[in-house]
Amino acid sequence: MKSRNLEKKIWNSYFDRVSKSLEGKRATIEVASLDLGDQIETESVVLYGITYDPKDDLLEIALEGLDHMIRKPVDIEVIEEAGGLKTIGVVDAEGTEQIIRLSDPLMLVAA
């Protein structure tokens, strides 16, 4: 398992590059702030992709039935394993921490 902070100048290209490999994975999003405490926003939802728009300073996580937007992120840390990206930790300008945990969908066995 490898953890690293991403420099802001590569956010756009990094998420463009890894987003295709994440399609179909499941995402759980946890939001933590002093105002809200720790809350699960969504759990094990199909992920369509992740993009960063430098013009609007916006990280978008596109999920089935939901677009999770993080405005003005100031810090992004990722955890990568041999199988690819596993966790994205984001802190926004207001200090809210958001953790996106990625997992493979469950494979059902035919009976």
What is the reported pTM?
0.88
Looking at residue 61, what is its pLDDT? 96
Using the predicted structure, report yes or no on whether residue 75 has a pLDDT greater than 90. yes
Q: Domain limits at 21?
A: 2-103
Using the predicted structure, report yes or no on whether residue 108 has a pLDDT greater than 80. no
Q: What is the CATH number of the domain that holds 74?
A: 2.70.180
Q: Is residue 38 part of a domain?
A: yes
Using the predicted structure, report yes or no on whether residue 1 has a pLDDT greater than 90. no
d(CA 88, CA 99): 6
Which residue, among 99, 74, 75, 106, has the nearest Cα to 85 in the 3D structure?
99
- Give the whole-number percent of the chain exceeding pLDDT 90: 72
Looking at residue 107, what is its pLDDT? 65
Residues 5-48 have pLDDT tens digits of: 999 999 999 999 998 888 889 999 999 987 777 888 899 999 99
Q: Is residue 110 part of a domain?
A: no
Domain count, the chain: 1
Q: Is residue 36 part of a domain?
A: yes
The mean pLDDT value for 90-110 works out to: 87
